[in-house]
Amino acid sequence: MDQIFLQVLNGLDKGGAYALIALGLTIIFGTLGVVNFAHGALFMLGAFCAVTVKALLETSKVTTDPTQLTAWGTPVEVRTPYIEAWLGDFGTLLVDFSVPASIIIAIPVMLLIGVAMERGLIRFFYKRPHAEQILVTFGLAIVLQEIVKSQFGANPIPQPAPDAAKGMVDFGAFIGFQAGSVVYPAWRLIYFLFSLMVIGAVFAFLQFTTFGMVVRAGMADRETVGLLGIDIDRRFTIVFGIAAVVAGLAGVMYTPILSPDYHMGMDFLVLSFVVVVVGGMGSLPGAVVAGFLLGIVQSFASMNEVKAILPGIDQIIIYLIAVVILLARPRGLMGRKGVMEA
């Protein structure tokens, strides 16, 4: 029983990441009608915002110590991070909290990247066939990840969570199990709560602001909104920026769970498309529900008891669910008729 509870937690955690990535993707589908194969790259760029912030915080004054030699005979380099030299303990604390602190940097940076992408490239492709959108955004994704590779190398770069969030939280007694039988890493719980917050913020923004109302109207019927004399294009630029921010934040906070490398965007790309389509193209609640659903199902399929009956099921479960849902419900869980069907 405790195992099942733990797998639910795993699923929620995974689902949080899936939902965040899919959310941005489906917003872009729904508003701009663009198939964005560079969305995984945005997730990756977000993660590398955290890497960059940590690297900047750890920028060091390099002095050489001529009394000590490295194994290859050059003087040993001594590094003293400026920030610790200047700010003392607060500096150390800042380095420790570099991942959450990156959020502050990542929001404007990702917004800028998103807006630049939309203005510089994507807007020329609104009326182009999906195949060409795929080719151009896929090309962009490759270019972005190769640039990151040339700067940061191909190996994963560790991004530890703050010391305060490294521990485990004990649920056992809290929910009626034996104490210590249900423990879960604090950072993963934080990630789950964070994903709920971001999802809530996006929904609230679209639901309760005038801007959001126009965007939702635009998603439903772009032409009519245009006829009302509202400059829908400008708003869509902002929407693209928001989608980039959501993907980027998902990436920033995910770094303590998955050491980022240049290729992580591609690894999430296929999965995020599956999530979006299972949820239904252009449906925001659909993307969220599908994200959590697939996360939890994937966790359960990986249990030894399940694998004993169906070997290898954990390798294919996501795709199997996608096939079953698409055959049972033609437009995914919550898709509307006519979106991306032709």
Partner 1 sequence: MGNTDTKRKDLILLAGFSAVVLLAPFIFGPVGAGYPDLLQKFAIFGIFAMGFNILFGLTGYLSFGHAAFLGVGSYAAVWTFKLLTMNPFVALSLAVLIGGLFALAIGFVCLRRSGIYFSILTLALAQMSYNLAYSVLTPITNGETGLQLAQSDPRSLDAMFGIDYGAVLPSSHLFGIDMTGYPGFYFCAVMFIACFYLSMRIFRSPFGMMLRAVKSNQNRMNYTGLNSRPYTLTAFVISGMYAGLAGGLLAVTDPLAGAERMQWTASGEVVLMTILGGAGTLLGPVIGAGVIKYFENIFSAFNEGFLLDVFDFLPEVIQHAAVSVSSLFVGEGWHLTLGALFMVIVIFLPGGLMEGINRLYRKFRPKGGSSDPDAAPAPAPAE
Partner 2 sequence: MRKYDFTRRSLLKGTALAGVGLAAPTILTSKSWAANYLNEPTGSTVTFGFNVPQTGAYADEGADELRAYELAVEHINGEGDGGMLNTFSSKELKGNGINGKKVVFVTGDTQTKSDAARASAKRMVEKDGAIMITGGSSSGVAVAVQSYCQDAGVIFMAGLTHSNDTTGKDKRANGFRHFFNTEMSGAALAPVLERNFGKDRVAYHLTADYNWGWSQEGSIKKYTEKLGWQTASAVRTPLGSGDFSQYITPVLNSGADVLVLNHYGRDMVNSLTQSVQFGLRDKQVNGKEFAIVVPLYSRLMAQGAGENVKGIYGSTNWHWSLQDEGSKAFVKSFGQKYGFPPSQAAHTCYVQAILYADAAQRAGTFRPSGVGAALEGFEFDGMGNGPTEYRADDHQCFKDVLVVKGKENPTSQFDVLEVVEITPRAQVEYPASLLGGELGPYNDGV
Q: Which residues bind partner 2 (CB under 8 A)?
A: 2-3, 6-7, 9-11, 13-14, 17, 70-74, 76, 149, 153-158, 160-161, 166-168, 181, 183, 185, 187-188, 256-259, 261, 263-264, 267, 298-299, 302-304, 307, 312, 314-315
Choices 211-219, 249-257, 271-279, 286-294 (CB under 8 A): range interacting with partner 1: 271-279
Is residue 312 close enough to count as binding partner 1 by CB under 8 A? Answer: yes
Instruction: Give CA 197 to chain center in angstroms.
Output: 14
Minimum distance from CB of 171 to partner 1 (Å)? Answer: 33
Among 14, 6, 12, 17, which Cα is nearest to 246's? Answer: 17
Q: Which parts of 34-53 interact with partner 1 (CB under 8 A)?
A: 35
> Which lies closer to partner 1 via its Cβ, residue 36 or residue 98?
36
Backbone conformation region of residue 280, classed left if phi is above 0, alpha if psi is from -120 to 50, else beta: left
Tokens of 325: 């849902």
127 binds, among partner 1, partner 2, none (CB under 5 to 8 A by kind): partner 1
6 near 316, Cβ under 8 Å?
A: no
Q: For the chain, first and last CA: distance in Å?
A: 46
Other C-beta atoms lying within 10 Å of the C-beta of residue 115: 16
Q: What is the dihedral sign for C-alpha 10, 12, 17, 18?
A: positive
Nearest-CA neighbor of 199 among 145, 150, 243? 243
Please give the DSSP secondary-structure letter assigned to residue 204.
Answer: H
Interface mask (CB under 8 A) for partner 1, residues 91-130, using x and -?
------------------------------x--x--xxxx
Q: Which residues bind partner 1 (CB under 8 A)?
A: 33, 35, 121, 124, 127-132, 134-136, 138-143, 145-147, 150, 270, 273-274, 277, 281, 311-312, 315-316, 318-320, 322-323, 326-327, 330-332, 340-342
